[in-house]
Amino acid sequence: MHEPLGGFSPDTFRRRRELTLAGLDDGMLILPAGPVRYRSRDTEYTYRPDSELFYLSGVTEPGAVAVLRPGEGEQFILFIRERDPEAELWSGERVGTGRARELYGADVVHPIGDLDGRLAELLTGSRSIYYRWGAEQHIDRLVLDALSRGRARGSRRGTGPRGVMDPGELLDELRMIKDDEEIEHIRRAARITVDGFRKALAIAAPGIGEWELEAVMEGAFRRAGADGAGYQTIVGGGKNACVLHYVQNRCTLQGGELVLVDAGAEVGLYHADITRTVPVSGRFTDEQRAVYEVVEAAHAAAVATARPGATIGAVHQATVGVITAGLVDLGVLEGLPETLAEEEKHKPFYPHQTSHWLGLDVHDVGDYVQVGRSRTLEPGMVFTVEPGLYFRGGGEAGAARFAGIGVRIEDDFLVTSSGCDNLTGALPTSADSVAELVGRE
């Protein structure tokens, strides 16, 4: 992350805190930054800031805890690491308690070392706690203590927490509707990802390693100023494309095969998520093209369905209809497409959903179903459309001629007041145009 607060304005975080405080009632929200994790002895994984903490505060350092509680007095209490020249020699500058109040707009800032005593005291004054169990072991313990004390004394004194709820109850709905600054971040991630795809697909050729496309893609992300890849880049040549989250990327691309590439840049903690499938030597075989065109038609059907008022389930059903009919046309399935779709006969070949929400997390928060009904799309939501067809071999006899072919096409969409905006539409999807991306930039 290059800019303080990830490039967001302080007012954005203040507004989100106000909305959250309004929903807290007499409860208290605790958001830890999450620990630095180790990948091998004392070598750390790259620290990734916590999405919820960032969403409400802009804090991106480890070793922080934010507390929100409505009412008189301090509403935004921030615990953060103190400056430490010895530690900063190794890991870089910290914000420190002195600067954090102004930078993050906290009502009060305490050193993280004061957390236990102060949090225990704050907890006794709250009726409910919004906290995710398992976030930090020692906070788990404080919350448990407060709960048992609340049960023991609360009935006489009317104090102490009575329950713990997931912070997502407060935050997920807010996070589903993206504001202008968030959309600008996602658009930037989308532009960088499109450019990464152009550069990576341009080097695809027989004899090139899957890892080389990954390296070009992720190099392009970093050179363009992105934080990096938002998830492990998938480069699957040939039948590796049929492994949905194939991330080994250690095979060599073969002429006559397809390569599926699924990647997304992370910019200021916001994501893009694109998949394209192209012929390694620049020309589709008849079988590959036939499969590709079914997936492309499914993608188009989803896009035609997606608009405010449509449900995310309807978007998926649009792809299932096209894919099932396509499997019949390809001679893979026999019967009426509607009946086959009801019987979920497409699932061996199309085993995943069409969409997920996209934002601070690649698979972003938010319910897909509410009180038993599929979620209705609203302006400001961002989601992927990513139908696919995968022939792993075996199964229906009619599928044999497609064995080893895996195709997915994925783009990112913003729901607008009148329809949908394809944020990654600068990268083409038609068979002929994706074939042209191979070997040239």
Cβ-based nearer residue to Mn ion, 267 or 325: 267
The neighbouring-strand residues paired with 266 are: 228, 271
Report the candidate in 416, 326, 324 with the shortest Cα–Cα distance to residue 378.
Answer: 416
Cβ-based nearer residue to Mn ion, 115 or 358: 358
Among 47, 211, 231, 368, interactor with ligand GLY by CB under 6 A? 231
Q: Does 412 bind ligand GLY (CB under 6 A)?
A: no
65, 31 Cβ separation under 8 angstroms: yes
Which tokens go with 276?
Answer: 């394209």
Q: Does 262 bind ligand GLY (CB under 6 A)?
A: yes
At closest approach, how far in Å is the CB of 210 from ligand GLY? 15
Report the candidate in 190, 121, 141 with the shortest Cα–Cα distance to residue 32.
Answer: 141
Q: Does 368 bind ligand GLY (CB under 6 A)?
A: no
Q: What does 231 interact with, of ligand GLY, Mn ion, none (CB < 5 to 8 A by kind)?
A: ligand GLY
At closest approach, how far in Å is the CB of 387 from ligand GLY? 11
Could you say which residues in the range 122-151 bind ligand GLY, by CB under 6 A? none
Give the active site residues.
42, 245, 262, 273, 352, 356, 363, 386, 390, 408, 410
Q: For the residues of 5-58, what is the DSSP string, one character each? A: GGG--HHHHHHHHHHHHHHHTTEEEEEE-----EEETTEEPPP---HHHHHHH-
Cβ-based nearer residue to ligand GLY, 266 or 273: 273
Q: Does 227 bind ligand GLY (CB under 6 A)?
A: no
Q: What does 319 interact with, of ligand GLY, Mn ion, none (CB < 5 to 8 A by kind)?
A: none
Which tokens go with 383?
Answer: 């989601």
Pairing of strands 76-80, 108-111: parallel
Helix (H, G, I), strand (E, B) or coil at 68: strand
Residues in the chain: 441
Could you say which residues in the range 337-396 bind Mn ion, by CB under 5 A? 384
The neighbouring-strand residues paired with 407 are: 389
Give residues in contact with ligand GLY (CB under 6 A). Answer: 231, 262, 273, 356, 386, 410
Give residues in contact with Mn ion (CB under 5 A). Answer: 262, 273, 275, 384, 410
